[in-house]
Amino acid sequence: MDDMKQFRYDRDDAMTAAVMDDDWDAVRRYCRKYKVPIPKDERVMKAGIYKAVQDILDMPQEVKDVARKKCIALGFKPTMWG
């Protein structure tokens, strides 16, 4: 698997685990591996993941729907764009 495919696979796997299983350790491992900064505020981190999921083209609609609901429940708009 080339580097970009591995990156996308790891991203999608971590985000799906976070959204569907509340497995935030998967996101933290992904962020450490790819040196992605993590917000200190856990609510902001979660909302950022929930919003990011909406713009991943290959993300299953079920995951997007759950992420949207969880983002709204945290008090955030469900997308990056409004």
pLDDT at 37: 96
DSSP structure string for the chain: --HHHHHHHHHHHHHHHHHHH--HHHHHHHHHHHT----SSHHHHHHHHHHHHHT-TTS-HHHHHHHHHHHHHTTS-SSTT-
pLDDT at 1: 74
Show pLDDT as tens, one digit a residue, over the chain (82 residues).
799 999 999 999 999 999 999 999 999 999 999 999 999 999 999 999 999 999 999 999 999 999 999 999 999 999 888 6
pLDDT at 71: 97
pTM: 0.92
